[in-house]
Amino acid sequence: MVSVLTFAMVGVAWSRDVGPSMVDGDSISAEFSSTPSWTYEYTSFPEYPHSYSVDDLFGQDVSVGDVNGDGYGDVVISASGNPNDGQTAMYFFPGGQEGPSTDFTWWTSLNPEYGVSHNADNPLDASGDFNGDGYKDILFSDSEFKYGFFDPEGVVRAYYGSPTGPSSTSPWEMTYGGDRFDKGFGNAIANAGDINGDGYDEVLVGFDQYSPPEEPSGSGFGSIYLFYGSANGVSGNLNWSYDGDKSQASFGGCVSGAGDVNGDGYDEIFVTAPYYGGPDHDGYSGAAFVFYGANAGPAASPDWSMEAETGDGNSFGASCASAGDVNGDGFDDIVVGVPGESSGGAVYAYYGSEEGIPDEPDWIGKPSTYDDADSFGYSLSGAGDINGDGYDDIIVGAYAYDTNGNEEGRGQGTAYIFLGSAQGLSEDGIPWEPSGLYHYSRFGYAVAGGDVNGDGISDVVVGAPGSKVLSDFVDFGAAHVFYGDTVIPTTTTTTTSTTTSTTTSTTTSTTTTTSTTTTTTTITSTTTTITTTTTTATTTTSTTTTVPTTTSTTTTTTIPGDDDDDDTGGCGRTELGWGGLF
């Protein structure tokens, strides 16, 4: 199914401007503080505690997942520009009853001994369980990482969760090789969900600058790659791929799991091409595509697509995400960011149904006051249920938004929550505009949702990679957490009072002897072959806890004693020529 989207929309079910009201439908409001409940301000790279670079960019991406299995969502944050040749890094903050830890307990970087990076976006995703052990695993990528001076360009790594947190080394690594100089492998990564129904999540990788062998290098058609999960972890073989069909379209600019949009029990693949030029390929209008899951895997062509017809530079699909189930009908929904739209940006929502994704958006969110360069929709994420009403919500970033009178495009940034309801996403957005932000703070450059304090209500994490911590001129970066809050009934003709009491007691104890095999795979561009090399060195680690069962399992594998160390991500956002970090 191919549809064409005209930006002058007619017949949209919802088209709402972002206003100051905190309203969900007509009968429920929620109170959220604009003061962060938790903030981490980055001041130095761990190996160089007394040094910093001009653009550390801590908070460039954020993600939440329960990596250590304690019932609290853990926060992971990336920083792409630190001292020593701009090596990238990822930091792990365990969640707890009082929220995330005050400092990171684990981190990793791309050490120059193994390779170099040059300030690429470094997407994270901590939402998937690729080996089915009950712990969330972390994906991390650097689309400009290279071993040596040339190929391969780009790397994606997985770090498996455990009771002690992320694995100390990456047991799975994917790089792009070959004789073509195409950048961008791993520009976007995602937990795709369980596409084939085997009980394991899959890894989805975008390569937005890929050029087919028959086309010149640098043609920018783009491609996506799917690797299945299993009891042994992520597959070392490429299980499915799809190439874009238009040059310079950046197919794979954003990738995401869509959830189960048609209720058939299989999750779907969601991908965009933000520079897709429309029917005549005459501008960066953008396009989005969905591949439905099935026992045999995704189909050979998209099951749904939406091409933006007009709007040069709109970049429909610069961001993309599963929204969860925002209207409570049992089908997952998707959202698409359009930060280049002339009204300061927009977000389009498509609600799932038994028939799948509709041809027209069900809801459009736009800012009510704006500058054209605000980039509303540059980042977005499903937020989970942040007000406890049973409907999932979304969070939208506008990192260039300004209220301090700065030059257009140089604002401090903001983020908005749109609440779900039986009618769909709320009429108005709830803006977060923390005080004290500098211009260029880029608050809202990255957003994510998850329950970091275990109260049953989802919380929101917002990255601000341009925050100035020790200097007005240095982008150290910061990340902020805002706790969700329960719904509050408002005054209407009908008064509803609900009291819920839940007592939960859990004791967990596990005996595990764990080891990991590292598989490094290289994709070669001139052929369709995948070469897998596995190196092993024997190391055994043992962790003992106690589980109230009569079963004890011991698993022994091997850890390579001399492998690289690096880390993880979320929805990969396209580096837009009209408004990126640099």
What's the pLDDT tens digit per position in 228-267?
999 999 999 999 999 999 999 999 999 999 999 999 999 9
Please give the distance of CA 66 from its chain centroid, rounded to a whole number.
15
Mean pLDDT lowest among 33-47, 105-119, 484-498: 484-498
Q: What is the largest CA-CA distance in the chain?
A: 70
Residue 453 lies in a domain: yes
Task: Give the span between the Cα atoms of 29 and 532, in whole angstroms.
Answer: 54
Phi, psi of 84 (to 5 degrees): 70, 60
**Among 205, 125, 199, 126, which Cα is nearest to 161's?**
126
Task: Give the span between the Cα atoms of 573 and 253, in whole angstroms.
Answer: 7
558 vs 347, residue with greater confidence:
347
Residue 558 lies in a domain: no
| Average pLDDT score over residue span 7-29 | 35
The predicted-structure confidence for 218-239, as pLDDT tens digits, reads as follows 888 999 999 999 999 999 999 9
> pLDDT value at position 406?
62
Residue 92 lies in a domain: yes
Within 178-250, strands assigned E span: 185-193, 202-207, 223-227, 240-243
Residue 229 lies in a domain: yes
**Among 174, 304, 169, 286, which Cα is nearest to 226's?**
174
Domain count, the chain: 1
For residues 62 and 480, the answer to whether their CB atoms sit within 8 Å is no
H-run or E-run covering 83: helix 83-86
The predicted-structure confidence for 198-208, as pLDDT tens digits, reads as follows 999 999 999 99
Of all residues in the chain, what percent carry a pLDDT higher than 90?
A: 48
Residue 89 has pLDDT above 90, yes or no: no
Residue 200 lies in a domain: yes
**Among 32, 7, 127, which Cα is nearest to 426's?**
32
> pLDDT value at position 82?
55
| Average pLDDT score over residue span 177-191 | 83
Mean pLDDT, all residues of the chain: 76
> pLDDT value at position 425?
97
Residue 25 has pLDDT above 50, yes or no: no
> pLDDT value at position 524?
46
> What is the residue whose two structure tokens read 């080891």?
515
Task: Give the span between the Cα atoms of 290 and 304, in whole angstroms.
Answer: 5
> pLDDT value at position 59?
87
Mean pLDDT lowest among 113-117, 295-299, 483-487, 529-533: 529-533
> pLDDT value at position 203?
99
Residue 115 has pLDDT above 80, yes or no: no
121 vs 510, residue with greater confidence:
121
For residue 546, the tally of other CB atoms under 10 A from its CB is: 10
> pLDDT value at position 111?
52
Task: Give the span between the Cα atoms of 298 and 294, in whole angstroms.
Answer: 6
The predicted-structure confidence for 359-417, as pLDDT tens digits, reads as follows 999 999 988 776 777 889 999 999 999 999 999 999 999 988 877 666 665 678 889 99
For residues 154 and 205, the answer to whether their CB atoms sit within 8 Å is no
* Residue 440 tokens, joined: 């260029």
Mean pLDDT lowest among 107-111, 273-277, 489-493: 489-493
| Average pLDDT score over residue span 462-477 | 72
Task: Give the span between the Cα atoms of 104 and 45, in whole angstroms.
Answer: 12
H-run or E-run covering 85: helix 83-86
Residue 575 has pLDDT above 50, yes or no: no
CATH value at residue 312: 2.130.10.130
Residue 55 has pLDDT above 70, yes or no: no
For residues 339 and 320, the answer to whether their CB atoms sit within 8 Å is no
Which domain does 90 fall in, by range? 2-494+514-544
What pLDDT band is residue 487 in, cutting at 50, 70 and 90?
low
> pLDDT value at position 374?
85
Q: Rounded to two decimals, what is the model's pTM? A: 0.80
Residue 564 lies in a domain: no
Question: What percent of the chain is helix, strand and coil (3-state, nearest 5)?
Answer: 0, 35, 65
Task: Give the span between the Cα atoms of 13 and 402, in whole angstroms.
Answer: 30
Residue 118 lies in a domain: yes
Residue 27 has pLDDT above 50, yes or no: no
Residue 566 lies in a domain: no
H-type alpha helices, 283-341: none
* Residue 577 tokens, joined: 């020529």
> pLDDT value at position 152?
54
